[in-house]
A and B are shown apart, each in its own frame.
Chain A
């Protein structure tokens, strides 16, 4: 289960990153092309799209990094313990991350997404509903919650 989620996230993240690079490259190019009057105006849609990908990469990538236990932490205390106490502390840490992901990211994110859809807020250039941008928060929250729960059981069984 975790493996499939890992793989899916990897594909999505790689594609988003590649699209982001292409977007901004096109933006720079289009600005010069516009200057030389090859095309009418520099692309402003590409900037907006790139920022959209940035938010999604940041939040989805953070969820992915939770699964890989890659986040920066001060691990002096967990590393100084051993045996059962280390196990307990690691479980507590994962539980705290789980709670944050579930309550703040998922629940808060759902409130937020719903609100922006209700208010029909859209982006300035593409008129894309901003809800699609903010949706990254609760989705990242759900995946982070899943991974931290997984980590918790792994810590318990280790």
Chain B
């Protein structure tokens, strides 16, 4: 009965277009009203929302968002792009690879796929079109590769997962994302390279890419490369501070995020791309993004309390395990459910809602919660790039100025790569767990 009220009210509210955060809150209160007097139910839901936000690890989210905004305004994207160019500018379809690598770096620093898609995609689009790349192809590459930043640390969504899983180590999750995230980036490069070469053979009229540095003298190439590296070094050094600090235990994720804000602020001032008078606007933009995430977390905290109170995770777990107690099959079912969820829902609410439901099931089957976090995030990354609801898809299409329907064709092969990497990540737990295990971060 309670499950029915919850599921039905939630689906109806979502379908008619009520904001997701409020849909979660309303379903929670409707469900709990069945088994509790109204005044207690109301004040408990209100309390869970308040205490849900009163958390030290959560503080990292606004700070990483703020740091991302500062990077966007501070000319860091451009420096990362020229660094990526010197690294892999010699590959066929160089600009596509540069786009992917720059997205991996920028996404890694900022922790936001949307920010990466708009900053890197926006900065690279014109150059790619000038060099004869199809705008649809550019957009597809940019969109899919922007999501790698969610998996490569630091990543806000991992903090959200840690919170909704009841305290899986953020440090371990961060480190676990490295290998799968880099693997995803490499797979996208491979597919993009093949697509580029095939297209070029077919048309045979595509202009060659920009004069590659490899053709000039080695010393000149080395000099430009070194200059680009030096320009990108301060941005890359930030990664080193954050991740090094978290791994070595010098500071927590929250402290690292605050350092990241101060550091990017100084960097942006140093580059002279930001003025003190710009700061209120940057802060306000960060507040907007932050509060949209925070209110989702607040109502989800109320919801997860209701779920626990009504024993719903146990019921779902029992139902799933009655279908099969084979780890491989259960993981396939969960992956399929999450893929469908990802079509319709943004990543943060999906993680908040489905972690408390699915995590107990897979834990019972011996899946490590750190590994499951990586699976879940990587799965939902695909949903970020698919219609009807895909925030990265929308941003990527907007910066490339192409319609979404025209992106679908070039993006399909890239999806195949994403799904294959997702499967590999799902069934090879070592990919995620080896690195944090080596560093002694797993319990």
Contact = CB atoms under 8 A, between A and B. Distances in A.
B126 interface: no
B388 interface: yes
Contacts of B58: 54
Contacts of A75: 17
A17 interface: yes
A145 B20 CA distance: 17
Nearest to B265: A21
A96 B255 contact: no
Nearest to A26: B258
Given A65-B295, A74-B15, A134-B50, A21 B251 contact: no
B56 interface: yes
Contacts of A76: 17, 388-389
B251 A28 contact: yes
A16 B59 CA distance: 13
Interface residues of A, number: 58
B280 A96 contact: no
A21 B15 CA distance: 38
A96 B13 CA distance: 9
A66 B19 CA distance: 9
A64 B17 contact: no
B259 interface: yes
A138 B288 CA distance: 20
B59 A20 contact: yes
24 contacts: A10-B284, A13-B283, A14-B283, A16-B287, A17-B62, A17-B287, A18-B283, A28-B259, A31-B255, A47-B56, A51-B59, A52-B54, A55-B54, A58-B297, A71-B22, A72-B19, A72-B21, A72-B349, A73-B18, A74-B388, A100-B26, A108-B42, A112-B46, A134-B46
A58 B294 CA distance: 5
Contact of A77 (B15, B21, B46): B15
Interface string A86-110: 0001001100110010011101110
B366 to A, nearest CB: 34
Interface of A: 10, 13-14, 16-18, 20-21, 24-25, 27-28, 31, 47, 50-52, 54-55, 57-62, 64-66, 68, 70-78, 89, 92-93, 96-97, 100, 103-105, 107-109, 111-112, 115, 133-134, 136-138
Residue among B19, B21, B26 with max Cβ neighbours from chain A (10 Å)? B19
Interface of B: 13-22, 25-26, 29, 39, 41-47, 49-50, 53-56, 58-59, 62-63, 66, 251, 254-255, 258-259, 261-262, 280, 283-284, 286-288, 290-292, 294-298, 344-346, 348-349, 388-389
B20 A97 contact: no
A27 B43 contact: no
Residue among A51, A71, A92 with max Cβ neighbours from chain B (10 Å)? A71
Contact of A58 (B14, B53, B348, B388): B53
A76 to B, nearest CB: 5
Contacts of A105: 46, 49
B16 A92 contact: yes
Nearest to A69: B19
Chief secondary structure at chain A's binding surface: helix
A25 B295 CA distance: 24
B284 A97 contact: no
B258 to A, nearest CB: 4
Contact of A57 (B25, B49, B287): B287
B20 A115 contact: no
B288 A65 contact: yes
Contacts of A73: 17-20
Contacts of B53: 54-55, 58-59
A57 B42 contact: no
Contacts of B284: 10, 13-14, 17
B54 A108 contact: no
B151 to A, nearest CB: 21
Given A21-B258, A50-B59, A71-B21, A137 B15 contact: no
A111 B261 CA distance: 37
